[in-house]
Amino acid sequence: MKIIVDAFGGDNAPLEVIKGCRDAINNLGVEITLTGDKAKIENTAKENGIDISDMDIIHTESVIDIHEKPTEIIKSRSDCSMALGLKALSENGGDAFVSAGSSGALVVGSTFITKRIKGIKRVVMAPILPTAKGHVMLVDGGANDDCRPEMLLQFGLMASAYMEKVKGIAKPRVGLINIGAEDTKGRELEVEAYKLLKDSGLNFCGNLEARELPKGEFDVAVTDGFTGNVVLKLYEGMGSFFAGKLKDIYSGVLGKLSALLTYGKIKEFRKQMDYTEEGGAVLLGVNKPVIKAHGSSDAKAFYNAIRQAKACVDGNVTQTIIDSIGK
């Protein structure tokens, strides 16, 4: 299996990208193709003692910046490291693609270069969030601000396929993010989407209020990209808040002594809240798996993003989505 990785996507490129790829080859048995400036990649690897002799490199000196318009990936930046990676993916040069670059550019590039699955109306950003009982996939996490009810139905179908094939959850529990539990709550979007999800054959468990999200009673949380991004950013903010408060609580001599007694639990909680453990957000609806790693990803996060990409290929997620849409 070959995974294509954008070597110049993210804040810590290319060193952390290369380190994560090296670990992935050693431990996951995958092949890696890097996209980016070949000389810089080779020099970085040499300076840090990393063997990249078994990695292919697609050379380009162009990189799309997060401040550029996402559509530039198919215009002035069509030769950037992200665009060439997606092009290679579309031409069967690899089985999946990983990038920590611009989210907007990755959505546009996946849509117009690698292309959507036939019948899918929009590519969706699907981050996985920690809960008290495991994880929940949030769809959409920010790719589509303006949605129609049938799009939300497709989001639920695709996320259910992922959670079943990659996470091993039989009949994932699907909820629709809303302001109340009643089926009449929400805007026209939520009211009509509720009806479609109810009759979809999915394990639809009704409306989901935001306060219920961390409890872990749902495996998939469906919403439009605007609402989903607000939920995602609040989730991330609260995670940072809790981490800071824990640090304050266990500071000082007495705090450190107390921490020794609960070290195992603290370590478990930090691991659960650590975004690097999951890898990244999968872009659902693309013809081949595409993973969006966090912009500040380190080697561990890139390794896990590659592991996530491999799991999508192994689980045949794309074909499962095609079958679901067909039905």
- Taking alpha carbons only, the member of 308, 222, 293 closest to residue 7 is 293
Helix axes 149-165, 188-198, angle to 10 degrees: 50
CATH number of 1-120+285-318: 3.40.718.10
Regions of the chain where pLDDT drops below 70: 254-278
In order, the DSSP letters of 218-279 are -SEEE--HHHHHHHHHHHHHHHHHHHHHHHHHT-HHHHHHHHHHTHHHHHHHHHHH-GGGT-
Query: What does the pLDDT read at residue 256?
Result: 67
Contact criterion met (CB below 8 Å) for 102 and 293 = no
Q: How far is CA 84 from CA 75, 104, 114, 123, in A?
A: 13, 16, 10, 19
Query: What does the pLDDT read at residue 324?
Result: 81
| Strands laid side by side in the 31-36 sheet | 56-59, 31-36, 2-6, 96-99, 290-293, 280-284, 124-126
Query: What does the pLDDT read at residue 280?
Result: 87
> Rounded CA gap, 315 and 98, in Å?
17
Query: What does the pLDDT read at residue 274?
Result: 57
- 181 contacts: CB under 8 Å, gap ≥ 6: 206, 207, 209
Q: How far is CA 12 from CA 24, 85, 102, in A?
A: 17, 18, 14
Upper half-sphere CA count for residue 11 (Cβ side, 13 Å): 6
Q: How far is CA 176 from CA 59, 152, 154, 229, in A?
A: 44, 9, 12, 15
Residues spanned by CATH 3.40.718.10 within the chain? 1-120+285-318, 122-279
Query: What does the pLDDT read at residue 252?
Result: 74
Tokens 């690097």 locate to: 276
CB atoms within 10 A of CB 298: 18
CATH number of 122-279: 3.40.718.10
Query: What does the pLDDT read at residue 259?
Result: 64
Q: Write the DSSP symbol of residue 145.
A: S
Where is 280: in which H helix or E strand? strand 280-284
Query: What does the pLDDT read at residue 258?
Result: 65
Single-letter amino acid, residue 286: V
Where residue 69 falls (left for φ over 0; alpha for ψ -120 to 50; beta otherwise) is beta
- 22 contacts: CB under 8 Å, gap ≥ 6: 50, 51, 52
